[in-house]
Structures are given as C-alpha cells and as structure tokens.
C-alpha cells in the first residue's frame, strides 16, 4: 500500500517522468535510510557490517549523483534518532569503521580524477553549489519559509486526507515506537532543512515522500473504525479537486472561457475538452470511492490515471511554445542546422539545440546561467558572446558562414530586441524567436 501511495502521489507522479536529478537522489536517499534502519535492527555483528557497508555504498552513489546533500540529509535524520535511542556510540563506531570506508571506496576515485583534471572544481562545487545555494543572498529560486507547505499538500493528492492523521499518529507514538520515530525524522527533518534554505524548488522535497507514504499507509491500516470518516473525506477531496479543475478548464481556460486571453487558443477546443475530461476522471474516481469509502478508499490510486494518459495530448500550444523548444527547433531545423554558428540566450534552449541537432558547438549569448563556472575557463572564450559584443562578433564570424541566433523572449514579448543587428530572416512562435544572418564576405 505504501508503494502504491508513493507512486501515485501527485508530486512523485509528475517528477518521476521528468529528466532531472531529483528522482535519482531520492532513490539513493531512500536506499541510505532503509540500509541504515536494517543496519540498526541487525542482530549479529556480521549483519551489521553488511548493512552499514551497503549504507556507505549508497552514500557514495548519492554523493556522486548530487553532491554533499546525500551525506547531510541522512546525518540530519539518523543522529536525532540515534541520540533518542541512546545508540549514538554504535552509529559512530560502525559509521567510521564501515560506512565511511565504503563511501570512499566507491566515490574517491571519481573525486581524485576531477581534482587532478580541474583543481578548482571542489572549491566551486562546495562553496557555490552548496553553501551559496543554501544560504547565499544571491541564491537561485528564492522563496519564503512556508513555500513547501502548499507543495506538500498538493503533492500528496490523491491521498491528502491521510496526511494530517498519519503525522499526528506518528507524533503521538514517537516515544514508544522507534520505527515510527525513524520515519517521522526521515519525513520532517529534510522538509525543515529545505524550508530554511533560501533557494527552493518543488522537486527538492521529493525524498520526503517515501517515509510519508509508509506513514500514510500505516495510518490507513490502523484507523479506529472500518468506516472511519477519513476515507470519506479523501473521496470528497478528490471529487472536489477533479470537479473544480474540470470546471476551471471549461469556464476559464478553454477558448470559449470568460478570460480575455484563455490558456487554450481558438483552434484548441479539442485539447481543452481532453483536459476537462482528464480532471473529470479524477473527480469521478473520487465519487465512486464515496459509495463505499471504507472498502474503496484505495481506488484513489486511479485518480491521476486520466491526467497522465491525456496530459501530452491536452497540453496548450502556449505552454509548448514557452516551455518546450523541441517543436520550434524541429520546425526550422534545416535552416538552423545549415548555419555555421548557432547561438542561444538560454541554457535550456542551448541544450535542446545540442540534443536535436547532435552538435556540441552551441554558443551562449548574453546569459551564462548555470554554465558560469565552465565558461570561466580560458579555453571556453569562444563559447560565449556578450550582448554588447555581438555586432562586432557577427561582422567577423558571418564571413565563415550563416549565423543562427535563437532567443527565449520574456513573457508576452514578440518584438526583436532593438539592440540587435537587423536579421535577414526572423521566425517567431510563442516565446521562441529565430534570427538568421546570411553569410557575407
């Protein structure tokens, strides 16, 4: 049941199919915490050595996936539990003797290889990518402390009604149930940790959902009465959520909606109907579970099914044109691919160009983004062109061939920046614009 709740939770369902590192680090953190629990429950020294060794290997893999976060979070969760259970000496003994060597065994060759190749990398990786992103005034994706509260609430749909009771039960049992205390620490402490950080993204709290799913499944199995109102409440939440979203699509977001600029364009009535149907199926599953909530509460797992099956077909062109560069690139691929030089003002757009065109010579224009560190090396001087330098750069380089400049424009902006040289051809769709400069001797 816990696995089912985890896999169908809204945040997990969404991020699990998205090409980011967060699902992978969530996997290694789950492996770390499960190995730690099995190590602490092992009855023999041989078993403890095995599980603490596996814990170290998982830490090493997590470290190589997303850095020191894979080491900080387990320590944050394990130490309070070990102190509470008066087993801190055991954790430190086996941690230093077994876990640390295992972690170094799998990760140290990689650490040394990078240090030999780029001596300054570890300074940048530790101070900029960890310390500054956590507490720096210039941290990316700044958000208030309470940012993750709505993310957690929305992310646990379609099981939201189980969340408050499961946390309350875990808190009440923390003194006499060490397994519950372990899960509670695993779920809550990382949430507090990320809430204190200045930079926040919804994907960061994905590791909290594995323990939350176990707590929610356990709470559902231990409710005081078979017909407990919690299951009826969960059905109503899903019915209201699905129905409200379907109404919002039909009344506001569809081409015939009351908004002055609805999300769906004039020719996207079919997409709007599919989006309404997807949310309507969510509400319908919630309504069906209300007919016998104590027996059918687990039907909530089917709530996101319609949304997932229809999401790709129902995606509005406005979102595609703003968030997905591949269709734009493919539409003008012959012109772009034939260019001697290709520039982009956005790292994500540049990555899309490199992927679609199978080229590794994309030049960044105006914005360096997350590639600032790499572009600081002397041998990357030709891979970035500042806005003010572009006219002179263009005069020199268009002698060698055509130049294509792809821009990600600000929202609701479809005008060629006046500071750019006049292009020989302009293509525009959504937030993407292609400026073509023909070869000139």
What local confidence, expressed as pLDDT, does residue 133 receive? Answer: 66
What local confidence, expressed as pLDDT, does residue 139 receive? Answer: 55
What local confidence, expressed as pLDDT, does residue 49 receive? Answer: 94
What residue spans of 145-208 are helical by DSSP H?
A: 148-155, 162-172, 178-196
Q: Whose structure tokens read 């409710």? A: 223
In the predicted model, residues of the chain with pLDDT beneath 50 are: none
Q: What 8-state DSSP symbol labels residue 437?
A: E
Nearest to 165 by CA among 245, 78, 225: 225
pTM comes to 0.84
CA-CA distances (angstroms) from residue 252 to 154, 247, 274, 279, 406? 21, 8, 15, 14, 33
**Which token pair is 62?**
């997590």
CA-CA distances (angstroms) from residue 92 to 35, 61, 75, 437? 15, 21, 11, 64
SS3 386: coil
Contacts 24+ apart (CB under 8 A), 395-398: 397/340, 397/341, 398/341, 398/437, 398/438, 398/439, 398/440
CA-CA distances (angstroms) from residue 243 to 249, 403, 416? 10, 50, 42
């Amino acid at each position: 049941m816990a696995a089912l709740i985890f896999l169908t939770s809204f945040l997990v369902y969404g991020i699990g199919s998205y090409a980011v590192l967060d699902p992978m680090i969530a996997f290694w953190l789950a492996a770390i915490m499960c190995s730690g629990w099995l190590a602490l429950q092992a009855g023999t020294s041989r078993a403890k050595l095995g599980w603490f060794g596996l814990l170290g290997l998982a830490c090493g893999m997590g470290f190589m996936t997303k850095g020191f976060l894979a080491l900080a979070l387990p320590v944050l969760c394990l130490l309070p539990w070990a102190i509470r259970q008066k087993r801190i000496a055991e954790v430190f003994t086996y941690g230093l003797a077994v876990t640390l060597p295992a972690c170094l065994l799998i990760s140290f060759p990689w650490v040394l290889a990078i240090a030999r190749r780029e001596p300054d990398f570890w300074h940048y990786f530790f101070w900029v990518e960890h310390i500054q992103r956590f507490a720096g005034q210039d941290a990316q994706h700044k958000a208030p402390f309470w940012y993750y509260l709505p993310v957690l609430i929305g992310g646990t749909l379609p099981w939201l009604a189980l969340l408050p009771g499961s946390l309350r039960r875990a808190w009440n049992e923390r003194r006499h149930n060490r397994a519950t205390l372990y899960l509670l620490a695993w779920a809550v402490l990382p949430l507090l940790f990320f809430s204190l950080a200045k930079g926040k993204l919804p994907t960061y709290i994905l590791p909290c959902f594995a323990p939350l799913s176990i707590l929610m499944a356990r709470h559902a199995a231990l409710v005081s009465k078979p017909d407990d109102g919690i299951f009826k409440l969960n059905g109503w939440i899903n019915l209201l959520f699905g129905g409200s979203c379907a109404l919002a699509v039909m009344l506001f977001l569809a081409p015939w909606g009351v908004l002055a600029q609805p999300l769906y364009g004039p020719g996207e009535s079919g997409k709007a109907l599919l989006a309404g149907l997807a949310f309507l199926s969510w509400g319908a599953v919630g309504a069906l579970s209300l007919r016998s909530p104590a027996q059918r509460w687990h039907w909530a797992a089917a709530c996101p099914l319609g949304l997932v099956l229809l999401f790709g077909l129902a995606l509005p062109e406005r979102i595609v044109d703003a968030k997905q560069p591949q269709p734009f690139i493919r539409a003008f691929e012959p012109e772009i691919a034939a260019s001697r030089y290709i520039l982009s003002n956005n790292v994500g757009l540049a990555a899309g160009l490199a992927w679609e065109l199978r080229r590794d010579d994309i030049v960044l224009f105006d914005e360096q983004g997350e590639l600032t560190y790499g572009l600081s090396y002397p041998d990357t001087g030709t891979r970035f062109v500042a806005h003010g330098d572009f006219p002179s750069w263009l005069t020199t380089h268009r002698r060698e061939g055509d130049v294509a400049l792809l821009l990600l424009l600000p929202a609701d902006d479809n005008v060629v920046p006046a500071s750019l040289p006049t292009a020989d051809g302009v293509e525009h769709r959504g937030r993407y614009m292609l400026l073509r400069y023909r070869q000139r001797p």
